[in-house]
A and B are shown apart, each in its own frame.
Chain A
Amino acid sequence: MPLSWALIASLLLAVAGYLIGRNRALGAAGPDVRMLHSRPTYHGVSVALTTFGPAAVIVVLALLLRMTGQIDPTTGGVAGLAVLGGAILGLGWGISRIGADFQARSAVERMVMSVLIICSLIAIATTVGIVLSLIFETGSFFQKYSWHEFFFGLEWTPRFDGNSRLGMLPLLWGTLYISFIALVVAVPIGLFAAIYLSEYASPRIRSFAKPMVELLAGIPTIVYGLFALITVGPMLRDWIAQPLGLGNSASSVLTAGLVMGIMLIPFVSSLSDDIINAVPQSLRDAALGLGSTPSETVRQVVLPAALPGIVGAVLLAASRAIGETMIVVLGAGAAATMSLNPLEAMTTITVKIVSQLTGDNDFSSPETLVAFALGLTLFVITLCLNIVALIIVRKYREQYE
């Protein structure tokens, strides 16, 4: 890779530039170093940056052009020479600027600042990348498949020989049903756990229970998925579904919902904990001073005051549940059915994104492209939930600050 060699060469040039710059500055200062506007080190760094900066920019440009197919990868030699040329020109210009009056520190700080700004723009670039890639591919999906059928179709039967029915509603139903069960499990348990830890638990219990709950949060979702697949699923099937005659499948809405609920407990509890602790102690004192019991204080004063924050936390948890993938892939099943029976296998948006995009993909068939439309739907739903939740939580925080 000549490009990488050119990059290494320009790094060496930058080091040389640093040494030259520092020496030149010392020379320009004459006998008294204090004559310089900036410390000699800054002169060195300024030369090094002017050397390496252009080289790095040319490398990035070359890579971009190569990726988009504008230039042939075989022209690496030319690109490498351009990089080296940029570095040498930068070196010359950097050295020529040195003098007793040159404000090297300000120059270096300006350059560092632009690096900092570029780094913080990467967050925006990521979002733009997500949105563009989703919209672009979704667009080509809707050219091949009617958007009306996608959003309102009640049937999901992808076929590789064409004639697929790609209606999203069964997937949306499965997603919402599983998320609902997960929230029914996670919200009361997480909320009560947070209340117990912040209002009741003795320091000893807290020092034991809190890390335990936090440990649950640190476990990757694939572990929960495996737990659903080999433990919870068969247990629900053998103990509940089969005796009651409600189903024969180990993977079911209830399996995925239950396990996802467990996964969300620490999420809900740590968010609620923050929110409950933000309620000022003076309100608790007021209620206790009037003779409320601690539970009356929590129910009638703390929770109503914390309600907006808790609603925000529940919305965030809902967005987590809707976007969760591994637990549903391993626990919910693959059948796109719409039913009320929680012991039946159903499927979700995320499961279908995975199944349509793994394996050999033909990126011109609607069966593959539909995954991008599903991804865009998922992105929009979770984004809306997050924005609303963040606004609510932020308003709530400001109220008590």
Chain B
Amino acid sequence: MTDMSNHASRISLFEVDPRTRRRNAAEKRFRAYGATAICIAVIALVLLVGTILRDGSGAFRQTYLSMPVALSAEKLDPKGNRDPAEMSKVLTLAYGRVLDDALDAAVAQMDTQIEGLSEKDMTGLVSKEASAQLRDRVLADPELVGQTVDVNVLVNGRIDGYFKGRVSKESAERDSNTSPQQLMLADALAEDGVLVTRFNREFITNPDASDQRPEAAGVGIAILGSLYMMLVVLFLSVPIGVAASIYLEEFAPKNRLTDIIEVNISNLAAVPSIVFGILGLAVFINFAGLPQSAPIVGGLVLTLMTLPTIIISTRAALKAVPPSIRDAALGVGASKMQSVFHHVLPLAMPGIMTGTILGLAQALGETAPLLLIGMVAFVREFPAAPPEGLFDPASALPVQVYNWTQRSDPAFVERASGAIIILLIFLLCMNLLAIFLRRKFERRW
């Protein structure tokens, strides 16, 4: 043929030459690296979600002591007039004794006897929270005193852990808070149907509880606090973010100032979240004197943090509306502002909403800045309804998780994972909503 051809090219196409074979092997390897990378990412996700589900599902089931309790009038209402004001002077301790008596009675009825069962094992079976629960119930309805009522009270976290496999008879040997005998008693009570494990609604509604009573800890205040902060973020960041985007995208002249604003926004989006926490501490708490742990401060900090995200996505949505729409409006004599508010903004709305929801989801999961503005505080009182409630101390879901990881009792790990499950469910719903909006209203120009 010609001098340009070479031997390699004269071989029949059906025969793959060694060099090509080598190159194809390299190709396969390269492809395998890519597939491996994807697999690692997917495995990491499965592992992450899997361990959280495994550890956290226990938080939604709880062991209760279900037995009749005789509410002795002489212990709970010494004056005998059923006056709530008088009764509220009776200490929680008295209710604890009433419960202990009831448990004694329940144990006495059982056939089996347990060797070496101590008094401490008996009283320790019931959660320290149980007497307070009973007291609240009686104070709400003083007529109960003197009657025998069926109650459902929490058991100690160790016993609960025993039924969830966290505590075993072997580990109980070394544990000062429980004993193998106590666990045997629990087994016997469970057989009799006195101890029951069922769905734990209180986990979602209860406030946090102290170190010694993980069984009573719930995320009620945390959910409420997160909700309040989201309200603040929604009401501040959406109007401000959309207004700023409209100005920057539609009206801003090209000059130094708008250039600085643009660079500023993209940099703010990448500033570490903890720096926003420092800002909140310095400006909102130390300078402006707003209260610590308040949802209003958390909401303001998260607003500043989500603003860049919302502005960036809103501008993208505005940019996606073709210029012909603006021209059409201007062409019939609308002012620039009318063309934007009557035509461009409604068309960009689905995109703006999607971006807003994703920004809110990001804010909902944010933890670090909230630590600095005191949201880690231990809060037992539910905040009032907004707007006053915004200034009451509250917690937040991710901060509650952090809080529980700092406690020594391993039962709190279960609680922390359970709180994460709730958080992830919220996030999943928000993301699904965003995907739904995008699918439903997506428009191709």
Contact = CB atoms under 8 A, between A and B. Distances in A.
Answer yes or no: are A and B bound together in one complex.
yes
Contacts of B278: 130, 133-134, 353, 357, 371-372, 375
Contacts of A333: none
A222 B398 contact: yes
B420 A386 contact: no
Contacts of B246: 116
Contacts of A319: 270, 272
A326 B247 CA distance: 35
B118 interface: no
A193 B337 contact: no
Interface stretch (B129-137, B146-154, B280-288): B280-288
Contact of B265 (A117, A123, A197, A269): A123
A324 interface: yes
A244 interface: no
B266 A216 contact: no
Contacts of B337: 109, 112-113
Contact of A231 (B47, B304, B366, B376): B47
B420 A222 contact: yes
B319 to A, nearest CB: 14
A197 B34 CA distance: 8
Interface string A162-195: 0000000000000000000000000011111101
A375 B274 contact: yes
A120 interface: yes
B217 interface: no
A264 to B, nearest CB: 11
Contacts of A382: 270-272, 275
A116 B247 contact: yes
Interface in A113-132: 113, 115-117, 119-124, 126-127, 129-130
Contact of B367 (A200, A266, A326): A326
A230 interface: yes
Contacts of A329: 368, 402
A215 B272 contact: no
Nearest to B37: A192
Contacts of A195: 34
B227 to A, nearest CB: 16
A65 B110 CA distance: 71
Given A117-B247, A221-B367, A222-B398, A212 B41 contact: yes
A364 to B, nearest CB: 12
Contacts of A223: 48, 52, 365, 420, 423-424
A285 interface: no
Contacts of B40: 189, 265
Interface string B362-373: 001111100110
A338 interface: no
B283 A129 contact: yes
Nearest to A295: B30
A326 B423 CA distance: 16
A386 B38 contact: no
B279 interface: yes
Contacts of A219: 48, 365, 424, 427
A380 to B, nearest CB: 10
A310 to B, nearest CB: 15
Contact of B244 (A120, A226, A350): A120
A192 B423 CA distance: 31
Contact of B281 (A196, A226, A316, A357): A357
Nearest to B402: A222
B219 to A, nearest CB: 13
Nearest to B44: A262
B282 to A, nearest CB: 3
Nearest to A393: B266
Contacts of A221: 365, 367-368
Contacts of B413: 230
A123 B37 contact: no
Nearest to A120: B244
A82 to B, nearest CB: 20
A200 B275 contact: no
B283 A390 contact: no
Contacts of A191: 37
B328 interface: no
A383 interface: yes
A391 B265 CA distance: 14
Nearest to A374: B278
A378 interface: yes
A230 B398 CA distance: 16
B267 interface: yes
A354 B335 contact: no
Interface residues of B, number: 85
B55 A105 contact: no
B41 A116 contact: no
Contact of B272 (A266, A350, A372): A350
B260 interface: yes
Given A119-B247, A120-B252, A230-B413, A293 B24 contact: yes
A193 B243 contact: no
Interface in B182-225: none
B36 interface: yes
A193 B30 contact: no
B275 A218 contact: no
Contacts of B264: 123-124, 127
Contacts of A109: 335, 337
Contacts of A130: 271, 275-276, 278-279
A195 B30 CA distance: 10
B279 A126 contact: yes
Contact of B41 (A121, A129, A265, A320): A265
A84 interface: no
Interface in A204-247: 205, 209, 212-213, 215-216, 218-227, 229-231
B27 interface: yes
A363 interface: yes
Contacts of A371: 278
B243 A227 contact: no
Contacts of B304: 126
- A112, A316, A322: residue with the most chain B Cβ atoms closer than 10 Å: A112
Contacts of B42: 209, 212-213
Contacts of B52: 223, 226-227
27 contacts: A109-B337, A119-B240, A130-B276, A188-B37, A196-B35, A209-B42, A216-B41, A216-B48, A219-B427, A220-B398, A222-B398, A222-B402, A225-B402, A226-B420, A227-B52, A296-B23, A326-B398, A330-B405, A350-B274, A353-B372, A358-B371, A363-B286, A375-B274, A375-B275, A378-B275, A387-B267, A390-B266
Given A266-B41, A269-B41, A353-B274, 13 more contacts: A68-B287, A105-B335, A113-B247, A116-B244, A123-B268, A209-B38, A215-B45, A216-B45, A219-B365, A265-B41, A293-B26, A295-B27, A330-B405
What are the 9 tightest A-B residue pairs by CB atom distance, in nearest-first order?
A: A323-B272, A220-B365, A196-B34, A133-B282, A192-B37, A295-B30, A325-B368, A119-B243, A120-B244
Interface of B: 23-24, 26-27, 30-31, 33-38, 40-42, 44-45, 47-48, 51-52, 55, 239-241, 243-244, 246-248, 251-252, 260-261, 263-268, 270-279, 281-283, 286-289, 304, 307-308, 311, 335, 337, 361, 364-368, 371-372, 374, 376, 398, 401-402, 405, 413, 416-417, 420, 423-424, 427, 431
